[in-house]
Structure 1
């Protein structure tokens, strides 16, 4: 296979001049062993300088002259080819000269792998095959060994094999990986006849008659690779080589073409009628774009990096001259281009497989397992093999509604759509616009959206074919749209389609163990259609420069009537879209034990119907964000909010006086502690304020009591010990950290700092001071992965670290700053401006403060230390992390146990917490918020939730 030569090749490497220069070393090489060693050292120095100069010239062209990735590949391949040729000639001519070489001493150097196909990027491996006619001889062994040592000394990563022609053919028969490598073998230098012999032997003795075996192997390999990397081309940090829609998918297509047709270039597939010029053009454009992105990625990373991480995305966008626009930043526009290219790669795969099937006259490569032919109503379509197809080429022209009906029939009948028919769909997309106001077409779309059987799969195919976006133009605006943050895993369109799929699974009972409430109430809602349309439209207005919930509600008012929804359903959808974040915000950021929280939420939803719809929508939305986002703790918070709101809406909230409810809790605890001395129990019952008795259940209160009793037994006459205990709740996926210690200013921040150092993430905190002056603080903690900390070693470290933090034996500020500096570079690219919001109306008894900022180890420590400095009491806290953004909500009072309402004090709280939330505050040696003097104010005994 011949490769294109780069422009001005001698500026990269002048092989003739280099060879003439090395000839002057020949006499030294012949002067004994010492002379050969000297010559080899001089050879190495010359090649090092030549390689470095060539690479610098290629980089300069790429970065300064704006050449593309294809030119980088061609130039790097050319540079390496010339170095190998010079190295080979010098080795066989001067280092190990022979007057005559026998047939067995012939040698051919071949490139395989990415180097073989000419895809050499700055830090690509060098894959070589040293080809022999027979087994290795001492002479060829010396030559190969010397060449490899020089290449390794040049700092190259070399993959190599030395085989005879027969060995290559034998191993290619037995191993598909070796067979693929042989397929890409390219002649570099040496005995060309050996290469021709290998090529002929491969095509006649290995490839012939095994085309279908190779294709099925490569497709299975591709599917496994996709599954390993998430099976989506719309992940926000894609692997541009191995990911779905990446370079490896293009490699797979070309491998199949070369294997079956013995072609060396994409243009040959057009000449043979295998690909249309348009499809070939898309292949070339997609490959060129991915090569350019990959070249930038290699140069920026300084290594063979293949993952487009968040930290490099904006830099590549800048290098490729993307600009900010009102609707999207430069990096978002660059990534949208990437995802559209990945989609083109998927379309090329379907087209190519269709052609291969037709040419090879075989069963479909994308057939449905267990397919049984039976009589069926195809609604005007026909079967081509086992796939749905149009009866004639002008079918969509005569019947435009068939552009939607095609997908419905295919889904109803569990049929694949023939790739040729999908190609006709894309060629007739202009006809979709005329269907938008057609009631029958809209009915077809609604049948697809609300299909009882996995509507997400057919909607995804509709989207990739372009029909979805053309029929719902607002959806086209969010197609391939990324959100540049660490919370969202998928593009907006992929997230939406996944949410629809999750809604369908909720409805089908597949998630009843994880979502028992949603799985039950989904069958109680009055408008199933409104629910599905609300999920479709909940993020439809993202990227428009405003509140996407409010803007989305406007879109819903326009789209719903067109889809055939009634006025009542339209109003419901618009309300759901406008408030689709409300339930999660309240469940995760508010204290549901505060009566006003429930009253406010019940006032928002107003009816059980809306509450049920919003509950299901919220669950589907969160679960579709990405793996690991949903957990049992979040599920429990949502369930609690749902049940309490139901009670309020039905008028069943507790009306029993507080003192009676407190006494009932105490009576239950007496029974739970029946094994303890009665006087000890009664003393304990006198320690807690009403808020404590009404917050925890009896089991938790019994556990707390036994910890306090143990502390009293361990303490000396004048000693007040610090007790730390942990309890794992596997059902909720959380760990409770309970701390019983002498109350003192800054205790909350010390505990928070200790938990952070132990690798825990606080999601909830309840703070109480007992009448004996001791603090009883309960922290709900998860691991960084969103589950419980349950391993004995981690629990031991957690308890020890919290104990050391509270006792003052660890420098929290220094240790947390050190931990923050160890964060991966990709996580440091995001900037989250600190923001403090005071929700004065959220509680009648507490001031509710919300602190937003850039997540880092010790964020909660810094903020709570600042609250201590402000001489306020923390009653409870809710902590949420959304990717790189952390949102902490605190219920606070002043030193006298009163809600803070003075404007001056509220402004001071806002100012000091904003400083604390800034990333640099923790790392600054002079930061007032986190200095050792912080938090020396008094902590008055707290009557939390009294």
Structure 2
């Protein structure tokens, strides 16, 4: 790696080794006390290390894209510190006049440090090598040197081995073998290091190349699965994640081990990369190292995850500017994702070469099916395409140029016959994707091939992802090309827009095949009733296609659908359906999560927009896959239940027409079922029914009705003024907390505050008042990880917190203010609070929706503002979308009427804005 350091500009500005060496030599003349000498040397080395790091940071700020140079600079600086410290220890701390053959010691840099690549807080991985068993002198030198390095604040990973030990452990441990593969001489006995290198080559490397390559590929696949197996997560790990630095390292390790290359450019001579691919490798490596070095400087720790709170600042540091419809951070992250894609492309080509050099004739090397989940067959007809080691390939370099429609046919054949595409053919397709112009896009055959893939009953997700990574997808559908690698800068979406879309299509196909019948039984059943299957797949493809253009992406997306659908070859009726689905693809989730489904007007208004049972089925399935494809943990049982309630309620309205009689019948069926469960006498049950309003029977499911009835009966029997019941509910993914107490103003905000203090998050609240003035409030509560709040000790603490809050036993406001937020990433976002008041959404209630930045105790603050506004809360619906909270309340005034007076509505809005975190404007529009 010396040549790499030789290219660094003005190295003496990083560290003046001669000046520092002279200064160390003059320390404490005549002193032999090891501790004093180390204590005297450490400040000199520490100052030089800090000055060198400051100079590197200054250079990076001036040239923010010079990643490789910065990484090499940190390694060079570390080398010089190590050499100076070693010389000082050997010359002053533990001098040796007549060294024997056994008293030889060399320092080798290993791992990333051995490659000559480091960020500010990277580990300093070194190996101390001795010819045989360590002598007392070598032990003393190693110990003193490590003390100095630790005192400098370096995080040192070290090993001390004889040459025999080195060979034995390298043979038995893949991690050690990989680290030693990167070994580089730093200082000490040069002949000893050379002997170690020869023995590693002769006794470890020779003859084990194929095994090492296979093991590294298996390790890579396991790492990808552990990290989420996608290079398009919006908070990527740029070192270990898919498409990150570790993938580039794996390529180099395999090339170095198998072909004995010493540097990345030599991969070209070995035939592992073309010169163009080498340039792409170096560009990707340089960019990723630049990002990593900026990240370490900003975070002040060895951080490799690009979290939201640093993305914006890194984008500014690296010089990204805003463009119409795209912020600097979105442009920066798009560059990152395109780079990760390049790394994936290079990996595929590299593996293809391994097949050529390491596999037996006609066989595959290493892991099978690395590109996806398809199984290989021997198809009979390939229309001119060929099979190469079981993968689809072209017969020549001009195959696509002769007929560019073949660029679409390639993927259709791969899907139809369930075979992989050869990486070299994917590279050829990426090169020739430029041949796709207006003529190909209008070609009936090309569109038929595309629709075959999109609507495939097999595995459209894998094949669409291949098509996307080859660049064919974005060329054939330019509107889709605009969202390729486009991130959504929020804490809700886990993937880029294109990756989210491809995953949603994959989920839809799995639902259709029945693979998710256990976890998604209703969507699976609904799919079997569909008539417009093709329209559904196209709507899933297009639902987010207009993101990043400014304006409402649903409206713009519907316009795009009207343009694209005829080209895809679908009928005018299907086109209208797709455009409607894209336009209203958020309608069902907004209604289910933000509105009271027990309010019959909610169902009526929703059904009036949907208009037909077939559209309801289509919208339901689109909504399910849209939510489930957002990211891990976003889909949960509570969302499943709410969407199911809305689907069933709207289906009934659409099937029977507007029919209040259906509502009454549902209530009577619930009451009959409840009576059978409870086993109460007619008189006792009739008295229970008479106490509770009709809205209660509509709002609550049968299991909650039963739980409430038993809680109420037990409390009344014991003459309790307050009863709190908790029950973990796996079907809803939450814990049901029921409170039965005398109703009074402020009850809700006190309960909300108490639940937060106990460590719970309220995800839904339904508030009821009996005809004799008792509150029956049901809360669904989760822990901070989105799981049921079911630990017995925590449940007891929850009950105690509610009792204390209602009895005013503690200063709840002070305790809430003192409770710190555990969420810091949300600080990267600014959400302007907004209050929407709607008197048309319900016949009986004023509906108030508050959009604000999520924070602990937000619900408590909003509920207290409503208490101060002297209104009655009848239900609360809490939804969070990453950093954004959307809380909806159904309210009346204290007499049970809607709130209509303009002055009261203004006051209500002002107090809620204050509670949500925004100062009111001095003047507001009337």
Q: State the TM-score, normalizing by the size of structure 1.
A: 0.93
Residue aligning to 2:924 = none
C-alpha separation in 1, matches of 2:375 and 2:837: 61
C-alpha separation in 2, matches of 1:537 and 1:264: 48
Query: 8 Å contact 1:765–1:777 — kept in the other structure?
Result: yes
Secondary structure, aligned partner of 1:266:
coil
- Give the alignment of 1:733-748 within 5 angstroms: 733-748=733-748
CA RMSD of aligned residues (A): 2.2
Greater alpha carbon shift after TM alignment, 45-54 vs 457-466: 45-54
Deviation at 1:173, TM superposition (A): 1.0
C-alpha separation in 1, matches of 2:841 and 2:105: 81
Query: 8 Å contact 1:61–1:67 — kept in the other structure?
Result: no
Query: 8 Å contact 1:834–1:852 — kept in the other structure?
Result: yes
Deviation at 1:264, TM superposition (A): 1.7
Deviation at 1:670, TM superposition (A): 5.9
1:588 aligned to which of 586, 593, 596: 593
Secondary structure, aligned partner of 2:740:
strand
C-alpha separation in 1, matches of 2:817 and 2:70: 42
Is 2:416 the counterpart of 1:432?
A: no
Secondary structure, aligned partner of 1:613:
helix
CA separation of 1:682 and 1:381: change in aligned 2, threshold 3 A: closer
Residue aligning to 1:40 = 38
1:445 aligned to which of 438, 450, 461: 450
Greater alpha carbon shift after TM alignment, 368-377 vs 853-862: 368-377
Greater alpha carbon shift after TM alignment, 384-393 vs 266-275: 266-275
C-alpha separation in 2, matches of 1:809 and 1:519: 51
Residue aligning to 2:387 = 383
**Cα deviation 1:404-444 (Å, max 9, x = unaligned):** 11122222223222222122112111112241011100000
1:614 aligned to which of 615, 619, 632: 619
Deviation at 1:119, TM superposition (A): 1.0
CA separation of 1:522 and 1:661: change in aligned 2, threshold 3 A: closer
Secondary structure, aligned partner of 1:19:
helix
Query: 8 Å contact 2:374–2:418 — kept in the other structure?
Result: no
Is 2:725 the counterpart of 1:711?
A: no
Residue aligning to 2:875 = 876
Deviation at 1:245, TM superposition (A): 0.5
Secondary structure, aligned partner of 1:777:
strand
Secondary structure, aligned partner of 1:103:
coil
CA separation of 1:133 and 1:919: change in aligned 2, threshold 3 A: farther
Deviation at 1:364, TM superposition (A): 2.4
Query: 8 Å contact 2:734–2:781 — kept in the other structure?
Result: yes
Greater alpha carbon shift after TM alignment, 514-523 vs 107-116: 514-523
Is 2:775 the counterpart of 1:781?
A: no
Q: State the TM-score, normalizing by the size of structure 2.
A: 0.95
Greater alpha carbon shift after TM alignment, 602-611 vs 783-792: 783-792
Residue aligning to 2:403 = 399
**Cα deviation 1:502-554 (Å, max 9, x = unaligned):** 00011011112222222122122222111100000000000110100000000
CA separation of 1:155 and 1:670: change in aligned 2, threshold 3 A: closer
Query: 8 Å contact 1:757–1:857 — kept in the other structure?
Result: no
Secondary structure, aligned partner of 1:167:
helix
Residue aligning to 2:909 = 910
1:297 aligned to which of 295, 298, 301: 295
2:11 aligned to which of 9, 12, 20: 9
Query: 8 Å contact 1:28–1:38 — kept in the other structure?
Result: no
Query: 8 Å contact 1:28–1:39 — kept in the other structure?
Result: no
C-alpha separation in 2, matches of 1:614 and 1:66: 47
Greater alpha carbon shift after TM alignment, 320-329 vs 414-423: 414-423
C-alpha separation in 2, matches of 1:658 and 1:305: 56
Secondary structure, aligned partner of 2:68:
helix
**Cα deviation 1:91-147 (Å, max 9, x = unaligned):** 222222222211111111110011101111111111111111111111111111111
Residue aligning to 1:196 = 194
Secondary structure, aligned partner of 1:636:
helix
**Cα deviation 1:467-514 (Å, max 9, x = unaligned):** 001100011100000111000010000000000000001101111222
Greater alpha carbon shift after TM alignment, 212-221 vs 905-914: 905-914
Secondary structure, aligned partner of 1:478:
coil
Secondary structure, aligned partner of 2:851:
strand
Greater alpha carbon shift after TM alignment, 154-163 vs 529-538: 154-163
1:476 aligned to which of 476, 481, 505: 481
Is 2:264 the counterpart of 1:266?
A: yes
Deviation at 1:44, TM superposition (A): 1.9
Residue aligning to 2:219 = 221
Greater alpha carbon shift after TM alignment, 784-793 vs 78-87: 784-793
Deviation at 1:664, TM superposition (A): 7.6
- Give the alignment of 1:491-640 within 5 angstroms: 491-640=496-645
Residue aligning to 1:20 = 22
Query: 8 Å contact 1:283–1:345 — kept in the other structure?
Result: yes
Deviation at 1:355, TM superposition (A): 2.0
Deviation at 1:653, TM superposition (A): 6.2
1:53 aligned to which of 42, 51, 56: 51
Residue aligning to 2:164 = 166
- Give the alignment of 1:853-868 within 5 angstroms: 853-868=852-867
Secondary structure, aligned partner of 1:311:
helix
C-alpha separation in 2, matches of 1:580 and 1:375: 39
C-alpha separation in 1, matches of 2:280 and 2:126: 31
Secondary structure, aligned partner of 2:475:
helix
C-alpha separation in 1, matches of 2:593 and 2:216: 46
Is 2:153 the counterpart of 1:155?
A: yes
Deviation at 1:182, TM superposition (A): 0.9
Deviation at 1:795, TM superposition (A): 2.4
Residue aligning to 1:724 = 724
CA separation of 1:693 and 1:444: change in aligned 2, threshold 3 A: closer
C-alpha separation in 2, matches of 1:524 and 1:703: 35
Greater alpha carbon shift after TM alignment, 748-757 vs 484-493: 748-757
Secondary structure, aligned partner of 1:737:
strand
Query: 8 Å contact 1:711–1:722 — kept in the other structure?
Result: yes
C-alpha separation in 1, matches of 2:899 and 2:202: 87
Is 2:410 the counterpart of 1:411?
A: no
Deviation at 1:742, TM superposition (A): 2.2
Residue aligning to 2:798 = 798
C-alpha separation in 2, matches of 1:333 and 1:382: 40
Residue aligning to 1:926 = none
Secondary structure, aligned partner of 1:4:
helix
Deviation at 1:361, TM superposition (A): 4.5
Deviation at 1:705, TM superposition (A): 3.5
CA separation of 1:324 and 1:373: change in aligned 2, threshold 3 A: closer
Residue aligning to 2:108 = 110
Residues paired across the two proteins, number: 911
Deviation at 1:283, TM superposition (A): 0.6
Residue aligning to 2:133 = 135
Deviation at 1:13, TM superposition (A): 1.1
Query: 8 Å contact 2:539–2:578 — kept in the other structure?
Result: yes
Residue aligning to 2:123 = 125
CA separation of 1:430 and 1:64: change in aligned 2, threshold 3 A: closer
Residue aligning to 1:927 = none
Deviation at 1:907, TM superposition (A): 2.3
Secondary structure, aligned partner of 2:727:
strand
Deviation at 1:263, TM superposition (A): 1.5
Is 2:174 the counterpart of 1:176?
A: yes
Residue aligning to 2:816 = 816
C-alpha separation in 2, matches of 1:373 and 1:651: 50
C-alpha separation in 2, matches of 1:418 and 1:665: 59
C-alpha separation in 1, matches of 2:830 and 2:476: 37
C-alpha separation in 2, matches of 1:73 and 1:545: 38
Residue aligning to 2:923 = none
Unaligned runs of 5+ in 1: 922-946
- Give the alignment of 1:451-462 within 5 angstroms: 451-462=456-467
Deviation at 1:779, TM superposition (A): 1.6
C-alpha separation in 2, matches of 1:150 and 1:661: 78
Deviation at 1:631, TM superposition (A): 1.1
CA separation of 1:401 and 1:750: change in aligned 2, threshold 3 A: same
Query: 8 Å contact 2:511–2:527 — kept in the other structure?
Result: yes
Query: 8 Å contact 1:714–1:721 — kept in the other structure?
Result: no
C-alpha separation in 1, matches of 2:294 and 2:24: 34
Query: 8 Å contact 1:672–1:698 — kept in the other structure?
Result: no
CA separation of 1:610 and 1:51: change in aligned 2, threshold 3 A: same
Query: 8 Å contact 1:26–1:94 — kept in the other structure?
Result: no
C-alpha separation in 1, matches of 2:377 and 2:499: 33
Secondary structure, aligned partner of 2:517:
coil
Greater alpha carbon shift after TM alignment, 282-291 vs 87-96: 87-96
